[in-house]
Chain A
Amino acid sequence: MVEQLLQSLSRFLPETTLTVALCSTVVVSLFLGRKSQATLFVALAGLVLATWFSFDQMGVSETIFSGMVAVDPFSVFFKLLVGLSAILILLFSLYSSEVQSTLHRAGEYSALILAMALGMFLMAGASNLLMMVLAIELTSLSSYILAGYTREASDSSEASLKYIIYGAVSTGVMLYGISILYGLTGATDFYGINRALTEESVNSVALLVSIIMILVGFGYKISAVPFHFWTPDVYEGAPITITAFLSVASKAAGFALMMRFFKVSFIDANAVGLPTGVWTSLQGFEWNKIVAILSVLTMTLGNLVAVWQNNLKRLLAYSSIAHAGYMLMGVVVLSDKGLAAVLIYFMVYLFMNLGAFYVVMLVANKTGSEDIDSYKGLGHRSPLVSVAMVIFFISLAGLPPTAGFIGKLFLFAALLDATWIWLAVVGALNSVVSLYYYVRVVRNMFLRDPEGNAEPILFSTPQLAIVMLLLLPTLFFGLFYSPMVELANASVMMFGIR
Chain B
Amino acid sequence: MYELLHDLLGDSLLVYVIGAALPLLFVLPFAVVAVLLEMKVSAHMQDRVAYMYTGWHGVLQPVADILKLLQKEDTVPAAADKFLFRLAPFLVFMGGYAGFAALPFSSAYIGSNIDLGVFYILAVSSLAVIGLMMSGWASNNKWSLFGAMRSVAQIISYEIPSALSILVAVMIVGSLNLQEVSKFQEGGIQNWIVFGGPMPLLQKLLLLPFTITAFFILFLAGIAEVNRTPFDLPEAESELVQGYNTEYSGMKFAIFYLAEFANMFLVSGIVVSLYLGGWTSPFGDVMSGPIWSFFWFVAKGMFFVFLQVWIRWTLPRLRVDQLMYTSWKVLTPFLFVCIFAVGLILVL
Whether A and B touch (Cβ < 8 Å) is answered with: no
- Interface residue ranges, A against B (CB under 8 Å): none
